Structure 1
Amino acid sequence: MRNSSYGRLSVGGGGQSIVPGSCILRMSRVVPLILLILIIAPLCAHYYLSKVGSDVSLGHERHLLLDSNDPLADLSGLKCDNAKARVQELLSIKASVLNELRDLEQHRQQLQENIALATSRVESLRQEEGRIKTELERLKTSVEQALLAQREVFEKNMPHIVAPRRITATHENSIRLPAPSAQSVAQCRMHNCFDYSRCSVLSNFPVYHYDVDQYRISTSDLEVFVKTTVRQALGYNAHITMDPDEACIFVALVGESIGSSVDKVNLEENLHSLPYWNGDGRNHVLLNLGRTIYSRNVFDGVNTGRALTVQAHFYSHLYRPGFDIVAPPLLGLPGGDLWHNLPPMVPAKRRYLLSFQGELPRLRNYLDKEEQPPSNNPSMREEVAVVEELIQLEKTRTDDQFLLQFTCQGSGGYGDLEEWQICETESMRTQVLRDSTFTLVLAPPNPTEISTVTFQARVFEALKYGAVPVILGNHVEFPLSETIDWRKLALTFPKSRVTEVHFLLRSLSDADILYMRRQGRLVWERFLGSTQVLVDSILAILRERLNIPPLAAADEPSQSVFNDSFVPLKTEADIPDPDTDENLGPIEPPFPSVSFTRNYTISLLTGYELWNVWGDPFNLYPNLPNNPILPTEAKFSGSQLGFRPINSGSGGSGKEFSESLGGNLPREQFTIVMLTYEREQVLLNSLARLYGLPYLNKVIVVWNSPKPPPEDLRWPDIKVPVQVIRAERNSLNNRFLPYSEIETEAVLSVDDDAHLRHDEIVFGFRVWREERDRIVGFPGRYHAWDLNYGGWLYNSNYSCELSMVLTGAAFFHKYYANMYSHVMPQAIRDKVDEYMNCEDIAMNFLVSHITRKPPVKVTSRWTFRCPGCPVSLSEDDSHFTERHKCINFFTQVYGYNPLLNTQYRVDSVLFKTRLPHDKQKCFKFI
């Protein structure tokens, strides 16, 4: 038998020591003996008692005989005495064995407990060994990555790139030159009339504007609205400087003047007497911004030198392409949100297919056949033919309705001037445009007029009310056409195509119509709809001509919740057992994303998108979601800096995959932004779970509570910085502020009670790197149509479609934090504050509006519950009611619902794939 050292047992009184194995052997011998005794003892006792009874019954004689003479009696008695002694001995043995059995049972139980503890300890050690091996592998990978990064720095010697520094002009650059001739002025272009020496690409484009009260340029009083709003708009512009010596350009407000007559001699003298005119007016911008239909080209016959002009009315011989700027009249508000009173974009088809209300005074007699247009005026003859053809449209036998009025009341009336007048009141025109799919805009009959106030006003009103402009006459200039692609929001045909207009309009699908209507509204709201956005747009066009980058977008200051003298207490993170034992990536020290690499190319390469897609050419961002991507082979030939291809480019399964970030872009990290309000323990638990998370740059905790955190609060040390930022007020909008502490492009917005596994976070980050312009996250939701009452409903049920990913656990680009906080209509942020709800819906609306793409949902996560956490805002009974209202209100602000449905989610490659034994999945559970 095999000896064991777990314990010993003393049997009887002999003190013999046995081991558990010998105990088992002895028991196998004792048990049969005990059974034999138990059988014999009752038989012997029975015999003894029966014998005694017989003796008594036979009488005294027999007793004497047996007692004195019978040797069997002695033998029988002796046997019984021996049996009794034997029984006593066996009972004693039995008691001893029972005691021994009890002791053995106690030892057996103790041994089982010891074995269980030992087994648990062995299993724990095995797990610890696995964790240590995994950590060792991660550390090895981290060291390799660090060495590679160090080698890249030394080999490439890349400078640290930041936003442009400012280098401005001085008074020495103000060299006075003689005034150019009128002929040379007509030939002005940027290359021969603009002084670039005053506008370094590092100057930040300083703009000086002449105060209209101090420097009176116009020969008559300025219109009050124009004077007030333009001065206010210039004052709000970030490029304005009060130092004329450093200015790149000088802005002078010339009109609109009250009254129709202009003393052009006096106007020219006033211009030339401006203190910084320097003889030739170079780098001066003359604003003639009309508000009424009487505004004309006041510079006709005026020597404006090398100054460029901005106005709505231009003759072809006075317009200098690429130098002068066509601007619409100031028909909008001074500034602010412009969505109020705008009609919805849907339905695509409205009551009228095409509408027009206008009058050409000289045309009335020709249409009535009272006289014929003069033969020496071909433009008027063409105009008559166009109108007669258009009149026939109303007689077509189709389902399309037309509203075409060529004589009307309330026209401005230029008398016999050849100009289409605006008719009816503004409210009447507004109602017609709201009911029109397309609206006709006739170009000025005079071919020398490439832009007029009435023409620009018609385009302005058409875009405002969602009637797609149909321009007849292709000799006109559109406002800000240097940057705005008018092909996406207006249809332009030569007048000779008038017979085909009906066919061409019917060929547009509903999707085409709504695309153009949406694009028109975007342009109107961002560049034309108010004095503020128009002035900002004019200055932005001039800045882009000079290839000067805009000012860097302002970050939100990250003010710590702690005093400068207070050092928060820290404690080692109480790390729970990991959800997986995977190697999810290298543990690297925090490093920021490479930023501001396209300061001087952003306008050149993506200027079109800045104006026509994203709608924000006014700010310079450290990065954009749509930065260009290198070809694949560039990662191995000439452009290796920062790239971490899988297994050095040869690919691989899970092991090699986890060691490198891979993808099509250089390595990077992400920042976690976590909003919290008076749930300290929940917050600390969530922070502790982030220990050892790969690719984490830092954690920003937005402290929404007015009370500071307790001084004795112990913050877990998770080996990356944790910045606790004080919020000015309790607002859910604080979740999306572009904090200066966010140094990465990727932002992971997480609720303080969300519980995500490390592998889910890393997988979501990897997916986001391939979908940088979209929201990538975990909990999916969708918007549904209310079949009973109409309108939109918010829905959180399981569904085969989704249209939103909640930002309680989602990645997005920091660019969208800027757009949410500074570009998105203020009314949406106000609604979020009113309900203390819906900020996640607002972000989904914004991103889908900009990209026209749905979000990306990763893995099977659908809901997030934190057992034992305090009740959150989403548990309130009014939560869903408010979210229904939010969707409908946001739809009203945007004019349509930008959310798009999607039917797929993202799981990792090799998920549920059967692999050879020597291969690993990318992620074990995803």
Structure 2
Amino acid sequence: MLARASAPVSILRPGFDISIPLFHRNHLEKGGEPGLVNAVNFPGTKKYLLAFKGKRYVHGIGSETRNSLYHLHNSRDVILVTTCKHGRSWRDLQDERCDEDNAEYDRYDYEVLLQNSTFCLVPRGRRLGSFRFLEALQAGCIPVLLANGWVLPFDSVIDWSLAAVWADERLLLQVPDSIRSIEVAKLISLRQWTQILWERYFSSIEKIVHTTLEIVFDRVSQEIAGSRSGLIWNSAPGALFSLPQFSDTWSQYPFYTEALGSEVGPNFTAVIYSHPATTNISPNANTPLIRLLKSLGKSLHLSRVIVLWSVERPPPPRSHWPILPVPLTILHNTAGISARFRPQPLIETAAVLSLDDDSLLSTDEIDFAYNVWRSFPDRIVGYPARSHFWDDAKATWGYTSKWTNDYSLVLTGAAFYHHYYHHLYTHGLGPLLHKTVEQSQNCEDILMNFLVSHVTRRPPIKVTQRKVYKENPASGSRSPWNDPDHFVQRQTCLNTFAAVFGYMPLLRSNMRLDPVLFKDSVSNMRKKYRQIELVMS
């Protein structure tokens, strides 16, 4: 099996060999630069309809196509400029048009053309493919492919009609009229898909390699379980984040419910992590954990409660625990904080409510957050929000718990997420990330936010105005949240994670979702979640 760039149809063996992109030697190894389209701009067209700036080959392979481009250049909305200035002997090979072409070529900046063109011509060069293909994808400039017989990168799994336009080298003069006929709605869709495909599969060498290996994996496993469908490869977040070991039913993933016309289940599983510094359970009904369990028990959406008992001493006898209308399972966790996001066979619901044992949430707050999460099953939805920022003075990422109008993390001490992220957290992250969490005994919630933002390229969602979500530590005990070293550790983790990911995946948001009629001057009896306004923020 051969993976090669600029693969021609005549050589590549369909279903066996793999066509990969031609990338520059400076292409980022991991992480990757983001796409350059920051918003859907109207109108859909840009200053230039079609652009190309590159070498002209006076003779040899690729010369016929590029030598003809000057026929279409009009200096207005079609900018196709070439230069003969390449190679040591270009003067010896120049023709009568080279001086004029070189002068016109120098008038235009390549990056400006990429940013301000609706379409970018990608003609064959010495090879069928070129660096320009990936550069156009990143810039959101719709590629117009002018290389007959070229098998596009990962053509066996990616539907390139979503992001690119094919042209025939034999019909070069018809290209401008053909692309002018494309409707604006289609232009916007094509531009959006350039960004999706760039970010998912091409923005780093690491992604290109992983995509190649995933195609190989699909082919090897096809006889056993069948390969992944085009839906998985050609919809966000893509095949690199949809591990087939999790399930053979795509509706069970958090990403494809809308596309498949399915819905997430009607219930959730609560997973409570008991921290050694705060856990205190006894027949006394006023302990935080007991009160939290009682609030959970009143929820009509609760399916099961799992308590991860991380204290060295055995958990109290069952007589000390409240009676709930659903199964209550206490797992004596000796593996520490790493078990929090470990896949649990007992979790049979799509939704997981992750809680610290001293969380302060009422039943209405739990139910409201769950109903919000059902509309956003691929994201973290919850109460405690935090932010990251870039500190110019220290040249590092900073972490803050200050209450502002935006945030980039929702901590998993009181938050909903899809249980697929347990699988992805455990099996889809590198050992250095897990080791950092184990050594700090601190940052698993930050890492989960990194993972979900990295996969979805969307921020988490905060619900209601609650600022404080934890009990004050019991007398004589020391909460890790009040430990000065705790904050320093979290900031260190933030920078370590960003270095390992190769970029900062966290995204800022200023959206907060509240219940209908929240704090409106109407009778509280008309409101569905009546307890929420009574909660002190």
TM-score range, shorter chain: 0.5 to 0.7
**Residue in 1 aligned with 2:254?**
625
Partner Cα distance (1:873, 1:405) in 2: 65
Partner Cα distance (1:827, 1:489) in 2: 36
Equivalent of 2:329, from 723, 730, 738?
723
**CA-based RMSD:** 5.2
- TM-fit CA distance, 1:665: 5.1
Would you say 1:863 and 2:461 are equivalent positions?
A: no
**Residue in 2 aligned with 1:910?**
517
Would you say the 8 A contact 1:485–1:612 is kept in 2?
Answer: no
Partner Cα distance (1:922, 1:856) in 2: 20
Would you say the 8 A contact 1:467–1:517 is kept in 2?
Answer: no
What secondary structure sits across from 1:853 in the alignment?
Answer: coil
Would you say the 8 A contact 1:747–1:812 is kept in 2?
Answer: yes
Would you say 1:603 and 2:210 are equivalent positions?
A: no
Partner Cα distance (2:345, 2:85) in 1: 57
Q: Percent identity?
A: 28
> In structure 2, do the counterparts of structure 1 residues 718 and 806 end up closer, same or farther at CA, with 3 Å as the change threshold?
same
**Residue in 2 aligned with 1:540?**
218
- TM-fit CA distance, 1:825: 4.3
Amino acid at match of 1:673: V
CA-to-aligned-CA distance 1:251-273 (integer Å, 9 cap, x gap): xxxxxxxxxxxxxxxxxxxxxxx
Would you say the 8 A contact 1:610–1:617 is kept in 2?
Answer: no
Equivalent of 1:670, from 268, 292, 297?
268
- TM-fit CA distance, 1:811: 0.5
Amino acid at match of 1:865: K
| Counterpart mapping for 1:231-242 below 5 A | none
Equivalent of 2:303, from 660, 675, 697?
697
- TM-fit CA distance, 1:820: 2.0
| Counterpart mapping for 1:452-601 below 5 A | 472-486=146-160, 496=172, 517-521=198-202, 525-526=206-207, 528-529=208-209, 534-541=212-219, 548-549=225-226
**Residue in 1 aligned with 2:64?**
381
Would you say the 8 A contact 1:749–1:808 is kept in 2?
Answer: yes
What secondary structure sits across from 2:347 in the alignment?
Answer: coil
Partner Cα distance (1:402, 1:833) in 2: 56
Partner Cα distance (1:716, 1:382) in 2: 78
CA-to-aligned-CA distance 1:427-460 (integer Å, 9 cap, x gap): xxxxxxx9x9899976366xxxxxxxx7679699
Would you say 1:345 and 2:33 are equivalent positions?
A: yes
What secondary structure sits across from 2:352 in the alignment?
Answer: strand
Would you say the 8 A contact 1:683–1:753 is kept in 2?
Answer: no
What secondary structure sits across from 1:519 in the alignment?
Answer: helix
| Counterpart mapping for 1:770-781 below 5 A | 770-781=375-386
Answer with 796-805 or 613-622: which moved more.
613-622
Structure 1 unaligned segments of length 5 or more: list them.
1-286, 294-311, 332-338, 368-372, 410-433, 446-453, 551-601, 633-663
- TM-fit CA distance, 1:810: 0.2
- TM-fit CA distance, 1:541: 4.9
Equivalent of 1:841, from 434, 443, 446?
446
Would you say 1:407 and 2:87 are equivalent positions?
A: yes
Would you say the 8 A contact 1:776–1:805 is kept in 2?
Answer: yes
Structure 2 unaligned segments of length 5 or more: list them.
38-50, 90-110, 181-186, 533-537
| Counterpart mapping for 1:365-380 below 5 A | 366=58, 380=63
Would you say the 8 A contact 2:308–2:330 is kept in 1?
Answer: yes
Partner Cα distance (1:404, 1:542) in 2: 47
CA-to-aligned-CA distance 1:183-203 (integer Å, 9 cap, x gap): xxxxxxxxxxxxxxxxxxxxx
Would you say the 8 A contact 1:289–1:329 is kept in 2?
Answer: no
Partner Cα distance (1:460, 1:827) in 2: 34
What secondary structure sits across from 2:157 in the alignment?
Answer: coil
Partner Cα distance (2:510, 2:135) in 1: 37
- TM-fit CA distance, 1:776: 1.1
Answer with 878-887 or 744-753: which moved more.
878-887
What secondary structure sits across from 2:339 in the alignment?
Answer: helix
CA-to-aligned-CA distance 1:653-706 (integer Å, 9 cap, x gap): xxxxxxxxxxx958622111122343474366344221333232222223445x
**Residue in 2 aligned with 1:235?**
none
CA-to-aligned-CA distance 1:220-262 (integer Å, 9 cap, x gap): xxxxxxxxxxxxxxxxxxxxxxxxxxxxxxxxxxxxxxxxxxx
Partner Cα distance (2:160, 2:345) in 1: 37
**Residue in 2 aligned with 1:327?**
19
Amino acid at match of 1:820: Y
- TM-fit CA distance, 1:535: 4.0
Would you say 1:921 and 2:527 are equivalent positions?
A: yes
Would you say the 8 A contact 2:270–2:306 is kept in 1?
Answer: yes
Partner Cα distance (1:498, 1:875) in 2: 69
Greater Rg over alpha carbons, structure: 1
Partner Cα distance (1:315, 1:346) in 2: 31
Partner Cα distance (1:857, 1:718) in 2: 31
> In structure 2, do the counterparts of structure 1 residues 346 and 355 end up closer, same or farther at CA, with 3 Å as the change threshold?
farther
Partner Cα distance (2:85, 2:335) in 1: 55
> In structure 2, do the counterparts of structure 1 residues 517 and 314 end up closer, same or farther at CA, with 3 Å as the change threshold?
closer
Partner Cα distance (1:889, 1:347) in 2: 24
Amino acid at match of 1:482: S
**Residue in 1 aligned with 2:488?**
881
Partner Cα distance (1:834, 1:860) in 2: 33
Amino acid at match of 2:199: R
Would you say the 8 A contact 1:474–1:494 is kept in 2?
Answer: yes
CA-to-aligned-CA distance 1:396-420 (integer Å, 9 cap, x gap): 9xxxx999974279xxxxxxxxxxx
Would you say 1:768 and 2:373 are equivalent positions?
A: yes
> In structure 2, do the counterparts of structure 1 residues 538 and 682 end up closer, same or farther at CA, with 3 Å as the change threshold?
same
> In structure 2, do the counterparts of structure 1 residues 620 and 539 end up closer, same or farther at CA, with 3 Å as the change threshold?
same
| Counterpart mapping for 1:257-336 below 5 A | 287-289=1-3, 313-316=7-10, 323-328=15-20
Would you say the 8 A contact 1:702–1:724 is kept in 2?
Answer: yes
What secondary structure sits across from 1:841 in the alignment?
Answer: helix
Equivalent of 2:416, from 811, 834, 841?
811
Partner Cα distance (2:53, 2:340) in 1: 46
Amino acid at match of 1:327: S
**Residue in 2 aligned with 1:899?**
506
- TM-fit CA distance, 1:744: 0.9
| Counterpart mapping for 1:106-125 below 5 A | none
**Residue in 2 aligned with 1:443?**
124
- TM-fit CA distance, 1:326: 3.1
**Residue in 2 aligned with 1:851?**
456
What secondary structure sits across from 2:373 in the alignment?
Answer: helix
Partner Cα distance (1:879, 1:468) in 2: 46
Would you say the 8 A contact 2:124–2:130 is kept in 1?
Answer: no
Would you say 1:758 and 2:436 are equivalent positions?
A: no
Would you say the 8 A contact 1:356–1:441 is kept in 2?
Answer: no
Would you say the 8 A contact 1:614–1:850 is kept in 2?
Answer: no
Would you say the 8 A contact 1:673–1:748 is kept in 2?
Answer: yes
CA-to-aligned-CA distance 1:480-516 (integer Å, 9 cap, x gap): 212124467778766648999xxx9xx9999998666
Equivalent of 1:616, from 236, 242, 253?
242
Count of aligned pairs? 462
Amino acid at match of 2:377: R
> In structure 2, do the counterparts of structure 1 residues 478 and 341 end up closer, same or farther at CA, with 3 Å as the change threshold?
closer
Q: Give TM-score, length-normalised by structure 1.
A: 0.42
Partner Cα distance (1:856, 1:785) in 2: 21
Partner Cα distance (1:671, 1:864) in 2: 19
- TM-fit CA distance, 1:895: 4.4
Partner Cα distance (1:491, 1:878) in 2: 55
Would you say the 8 A contact 1:670–1:698 is kept in 2?
Answer: yes
Would you say the 8 A contact 2:33–2:203 is kept in 1?
Answer: no
